[in-house]
A and B are shown apart, each in its own frame.
Chain A
């Protein structure tokens, strides 16, 4: 799987939007961009994924750059329950596994 780069940590105030960046300059044309998060003492949880177009679901939005070399996970209104480690992962069409990096530890300030 191609490599991704994320900031080690970020802080955000409660009830404000959060933009979590991810760089993936070596992304291939068939790589999907996946985001997972891991809350304290829990297993990773799927958040969202996309290929080329921006995506929205009930949890978040995914904004993908036109050249696909970067993406941003957007939490529209952060709550304390969004405090977690967020992983940005690339998975190709024939990929068999997800390779997790170190992720971004998001802290929400009340």
Chain B
């Protein structure tokens, strides 16, 4: 158990639907990152939040959005789902009290989304 909790573990839904993935960071970690891993794309960075504020954005589609709440948990919202959105979605957290390349990330076990 890495200390990063992601729910649900598995989710099956239909095209056009909307889902929410939830992440609870490791205790004491202020930053949350979201990554998408599909078979043909590898691990793609989506977005990062630090203490409630968006810090960095990657290849996140406009149909996707995220937020980090005051208790530091984060949610990734995926809407108007397409078949190609089927993937593993990972959340990671980091302490990052200061901006440093030495900060390491702790990943959760992921949420597997299947869009039919």
Binding site for B on A (CB under 8 A): 30-32, 34, 36, 38, 42-46, 49, 51, 87, 91-103
Which of A31, A42, A101 has most chain B Cβ within 10 Å?
A: A42
Is B74 close to A, CB under 8 A?
no
- Given A87, A91, A100, A102, which contacts B101 in the complex, CB threshold below 8 Å? A91
Inter-chain residue pair count (beta carbon < 8 A): 61
Interface residues of chain A: helix, strand, loop or mixed (majority): loop
List A contacts of B106 (CB < 8 A).
Answer: 46
Distance of A51 Cα from B103 Cα, bound (Å): 12
Binding site for A on B (CB under 8 A): 2, 4, 33, 35, 42-43, 45, 48, 55-56, 58, 90, 92, 99-110
List A contacts of B2 (CB < 8 A).
Answer: 43, 45
List B contacts of A99 (CB < 8 A).
Answer: 45
Known: A100-B42, A101-B42. A43 touches B101 (CB 8 A): no
Residues B107 and A92 in contact, CB atoms below 8 Å apart:
no
